[in-house]
Chain A
Amino acid sequence: AQSVTQPDIHITVSEGASLELRCNYSYGATPYLFWYVQSPGQGLQLLLKYFSGDTLVQGIKGFEAEFKRSQSSFNLRKPSVHWSDAAEYFCAVGGRSGGGADGLTFGKGTHLIIQP
């Protein structure tokens, strides 16, 4: 069964500092990997996704993520955070099986706090 681990429940970063959010996954086939951001009471916004090809993926809002198959990781990074980045971040894994598409399995999320 697939699973996603986000080991950090909360992360506090100073505004302007760099950020890395960790994500490890377990998936039986070729994974499709995603990072989403959620503001309180809102739906999910896609930051970036990885299906294949270049393992360094660029997303919106200055975020990037690197797929490392050997480590089963897909960590999210941003060189300089802004106060507006404070939110809940979810890593998710999905894929295709039997000709269909799997629903996504989400990690528990990382709550990002930005200090002034």
Chain B
Amino acid sequence: AQKITQTQPGMFVQEKEAVTLDCTYDTSDPSYGLFWYKQPSSGEMIFLIYQGSYDQQNATEGRYSLNFQKARKSANLVISASQLGDSAMYFCAITNTGNQFYFGTGTSLTVIP
């Protein structure tokens, strides 16, 4: 089985600053995928970024990047130049087959103007 741990229940960041949201994972499978999702107060989960276990480079998608440290089993999300609209819950998830996904408990991010 896989497991995701997100140890930051809440984070605050000043507008235009960068912020790192932590995610550690546990899996015995050498092949896995890591996903980050954003859930605004409206409730709908939005896909942000993906990192595969065999990817040589850290994933980037616009202002989102993933600090992937395989040996430490961490996949931290970095949001650069924070905007007020980034205020939301952020969830890290893992799958090894695409059939079943395991999500963490999430981090609530608040961007301060």
A, B in one complex: no
* Chain B interface residues toward A at CB < 8 A: none
